[in-house]
């Protein structure tokens, strides 16, 4: 059996894939394999060659299969020290490079942790395989680490609450499970994780597998939205409006050219979501910056004053549309989305359900057919928006020009987050590095100040705002087929959620730098508490951590002090880039009430003592 497995793995490696080995006759049309090997073969057939996770007693058979297939050069396994981290690594790898990964765990606690970590991929539309061990199917008694008591297949119920899931109760269900998974992780418009549960006792069961039955063809994308006069109505809606705002979501990241043309034709302005940063260059005269509960002066002005909304590939997330109060003067909506429920979320909506780019191309053609020509930025609406854009840039510039403030905790002047984050993102663009933002103050300041000139410059995990994502993501720089330099912008709270990246990053050859902005607290929530109630509570501590010593304890990690000036911080970043491996730059940053110490908020949010006012406003709107 072991020799047969090794020969199969060698045949797949030599041919370059499962289908190729079948065509060459190196794999017979029927093979006797364990279910675990069939799972690995099935995922290889779909292009999954990276496995990230932690082995346990529930996954020894899968581990042995992966050992043999890695020895043959078919797959690579990357063992890490935390299942949440594994989920983040798989998400970051697919998000940045497009490479597929399988996150694997044993039974019980590890699977629960990976499931929790998969919330980021589920929220941000990233397709990742999750392969978990599970309780046995013959009910001989409770398995160690299974969910105690409860109904049959308890973990399937839990995983199914997060997304599509399947239990391989019998090995012969594998082709159907693989098809469902392929349709999920490779969905062209709404990818997400797929949870494949492999019970401990079915993993080693032998099955007669027809490798040709393993699905490998991903589902095709939708075409443009159906017409039936809808394009003409949408075009007329936008042309008749006086103040058009275009909300650009993650589903529109490939639509830069179409949006550029359409904005000029309808005299509109764009407000990107953080996940769509760079779809149109920040310097584009019709790009107003992010809008929402945090938002920007110019982006929020455009949302507040618009009378027509074109939403493209965007979810109505509470912070992005200010808990459904973001467009108080909008009376007509055109919503382009591949998901029907999202496309019809708002009242008074003309929904165009289809591929965003193909639909926008048809819409542009229809607008031109009605005689529209590109308009200069001379209308009252355009001039007002440009004025707010200039106000926003001046607002930020004042903070960049005062980069340090006296901080009582640090007992000296330290850098402010706006100035420090702006320098790091500008430095990253100059060196063509990919920035990963962690949840909290760093993330909020980051998407407010980032000035991306193309998609892919920054990965802002705002879907789940998962603390610890950014640092974990750096492991992907080492395991990717084409390595890249990553910059994790993280706070002290987020970093300590997943500090094991210091070890795993070295183990897997990560190339990048963790820029740790340390304000000794959970700054985003402290600020929210002060804004709402005048006091912050239980969001800081008195423990001063020497993060450089912590990082330096791991051989291979370069630990640097970011200094107390922008020049010192840039020098530290240059040293990190010159280091062939992983670095950490510790940056003490200001926290307090000084107006220049942060970017601030410009919108509404249905939380805390703001709930009554926000909901009252929402109930009075036409949307």
Pairing state of beta strands 308-312 and 244-248? parallel
Asked if residue 263 and residue 178 are part of one domain, the reply reads no
Whether pLDDT at 150 is above 80: no
Whether 474 maps to a domain, the answer reads yes
The span from the CA of 212 to the CA of 109, in Å, is: 35
Whether 619 maps to a domain, the answer reads no
The upper half-sphere exposure of residue 577, i.e. CA atoms within 13 Å in the direction of its Cβ, equals 17
Whether pLDDT at 544 is above 80: yes
The span from the CA of 329 to the CA of 17, in Å, is: 56
Whether 424 maps to a domain, the answer reads yes
Find, among 425, 396, 445, 435, the residue nearest to 596 by Cα.
396
Span 36-44, average pLDDT: 98
Span 299-325, average pLDDT: 95
Res 370: pLDDT = 97
**pLDDT tens digits, residue range 456-484?**
999 999 889 999 999 999 999 999 999 99
- Calculate the alpha carbon distances from 134 to 52, 58, 114, 129, 163 in Å: 18, 7, 13, 16, 17
Whether pLDDT at 2 is above 80: no
Q: In the numeric block, which tokens belong to residue 210? A: 């027809």
Find, among 457, 483, 488, the residue nearest to 472 by Cα.
488
* 405 CB-contact burial (10 Å; exposed 0-12 / middle 13-18 / buried 19+): middle
Asked if residue 154 and residue 255 are part of one domain, the reply reads no
Res 57: pLDDT = 95
Asked if residue 77 and residue 102 are part of one domain, the reply reads yes
**Share of residues in the chain with pLDDT > 70 (%):** 100
pLDDT band at 141 (very low <50, low <70, confident <90, very high): confident
Whether 618 maps to a domain, the answer reads no
Asked if residue 410 and residue 340 are part of one domain, the reply reads no
**pLDDT tens digits, residue range 561-596?**
999 999 999 999 999 999 999 999 999 999 999 999
Res 623: pLDDT = 86
The span from the CA of 392 to the CA of 51, in Å, is: 44
Please state the domain count of the chain. Answer: 3
Tell me the backbone φ, ψ of residue 147, rounded to 5 degrees. Answer: -70, 120
pLDDT band at 142 (very low <50, low <70, confident <90, very high): confident
Placement of tokens 């998962």 in the chain: 466
User: CATH code at 548?
Assistant: 3.40.50.970
Span 317-339, average pLDDT: 95
Whether 197 maps to a domain, the answer reads yes
User: CATH code at 343?
Assistant: 3.40.50.1220
Q: Which of 389, 420, 451 is the last residue of a domain?
A: 389
Asked if residue 32 and residue 83 are part of one domain, the reply reads yes
Span 179-203, average pLDDT: 97
Asked if residue 162 and residue 61 are part of one domain, the reply reads yes
Indicate if the alpha-carbon torsion angle 493, 494, 495, 499 is positive or negative.
positive
* 150 CB-contact burial (10 Å; exposed 0-12 / middle 13-18 / buried 19+): exposed
Whether pLDDT at 1 is above 70: no
Whether 620 maps to a domain, the answer reads no
Asked if residue 467 and residue 332 are part of one domain, the reply reads no
Res 147: pLDDT = 87
- Calculate the alpha carbon distances from 109 to 113, 144, 145, 165 in Å: 6, 11, 7, 18
Tell me the backbone φ, ψ of residue 456, rounded to 5 degrees. Answer: 95, -5
Whether pLDDT at 166 is above 90: yes
- Calculate the alpha carbon distances from 605 to 153, 222, 309, 327, 482 in Å: 39, 34, 20, 13, 41
Asked if residue 410 and residue 263 are part of one domain, the reply reads no
Indicate if the alpha-carbon torsion angle 137, 142, 144, 149 is positive or negative.
positive
Asked if residue 381 and residue 406 are part of one domain, the reply reads no
Span 387-393, average pLDDT: 97
């Amino acid at each position: 059996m072991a020799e047969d497995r090794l020969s199969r793995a060698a045949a797949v490696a030599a041919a370059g894939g499962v289908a190729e080995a079948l065509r060459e006759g190196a794999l017979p049309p029927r093979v006797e394999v364990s279910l675990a090997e069939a799972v690995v073969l099935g995922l290889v057939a779909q292009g999954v060659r990276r496995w990230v996770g932690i082995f346990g007693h529930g996954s020894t058979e899968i581990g042995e299969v992966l050992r043999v297939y890695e020895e043959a050069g078919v797959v690579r396994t990357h063992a890490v020290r935390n299942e949440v981290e594994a989920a983040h690594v798989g998400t970051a790898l697919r998000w940045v490079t497009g490479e597929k990964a399988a996150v694997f765990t044993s039974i019980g606690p590890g699977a629960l942790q990976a499931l929790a970590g998969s919330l980021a991929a589920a929220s941000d539309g990233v397709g990742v395989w999750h392969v978990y061990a599970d309780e046995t199917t013959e009910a001989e008694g409770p398995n160690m680490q299974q969910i105690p008591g409860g109904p049959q297949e308890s973990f399937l119920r839990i995983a199914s609450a997060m997304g599509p899931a399947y239990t391989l109760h019998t090995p012969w269900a594998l082709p159907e499970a693989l098809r469902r998974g392929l349709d999920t992780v490779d969905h062209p418009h709404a990818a997400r994780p797929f949870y494949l549960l492999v019970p401990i006792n079915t993993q080693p069961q032998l099955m007669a597998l027809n490798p040709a039955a393993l699905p490998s063809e991903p589902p095709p994308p939708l075409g443009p939205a159906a017409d039936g006069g809808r394009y003409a109505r949408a075009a007329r809606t936008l042309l008749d409006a006086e103040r058009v705002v275009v909300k650009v979501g993650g589903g529109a990241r490939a639509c830069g050219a179409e949006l550029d043309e359409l904005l000029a034709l309808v005299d509109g302005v764009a407000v990107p979501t953080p996940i769509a940063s760079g779809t149109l260059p920040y310097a584009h005269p019709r790009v107003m910056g992010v809008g929402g509960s945090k938002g920007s002066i110019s982006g929020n002005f455009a949302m507040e004053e618009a009378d027509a909304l074109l939403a493209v590939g965007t979810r109505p997330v509470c912070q992005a549309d200010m808990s459904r109060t973001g467009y108080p003067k909008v009376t007509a909506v055109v919503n382009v989305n591949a998901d029907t429920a999202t496309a019809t979320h708002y009242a008074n909506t003309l929904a165009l359900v289809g591929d965003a780019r193909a639909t926008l191309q048809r819409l542009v053609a229809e607008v031109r057919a009605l005689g529209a020509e590109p308009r200069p930025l001379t209308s009252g609406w355009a001039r007002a928006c440009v004025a707010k854009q200039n106000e926003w840039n001046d607002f930020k510039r004042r903070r960049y020009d005062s980069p340090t403030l006296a901080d009582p905790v640090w007992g000296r002047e330290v850098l402010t987050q706006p100035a420090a984050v702006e320098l790091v993102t500008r430095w990253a663009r100059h060196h063509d590095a990919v920035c990963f933002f962690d949840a909290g103050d760093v993330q909020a300041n980051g998407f407010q100040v980032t000035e991306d000139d193309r998609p892919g410059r920054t990965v802002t995990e705002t879907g789940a705002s998962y603390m610890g994502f950014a640092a974990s993501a750096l492991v992907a720089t080492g395991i990717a087929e084409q390595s890249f330099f990553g910059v994790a912008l993280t706070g002290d709270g987020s970093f300590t959620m997943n500090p094991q990246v210091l070890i795993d990053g070295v183990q897997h050859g990560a190339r990048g730098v963790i820029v740790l902005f340390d304000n000794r607290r959970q700054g985003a929530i402290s600020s929210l508490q002060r804004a709402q109630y005048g006091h912050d509570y239980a969001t800081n501590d008195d423990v001063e951590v020497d993060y450089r010593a912590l990082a330096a304890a791991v051989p291979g990690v370069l630990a640097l002090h970011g200094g107390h000036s922008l020049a010192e911080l840039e020098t530290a970043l240059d040293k990190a880039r010159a280091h062939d491996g992983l670095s950490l730059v510790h940056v003490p940053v200001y926290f307090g009430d000084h107006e220049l110490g942060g970017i601030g908020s410009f919108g509404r949010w249905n939380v805390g003592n703001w709930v009554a006012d926000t909901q009252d406003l929402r109930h009075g709107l036409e949307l």
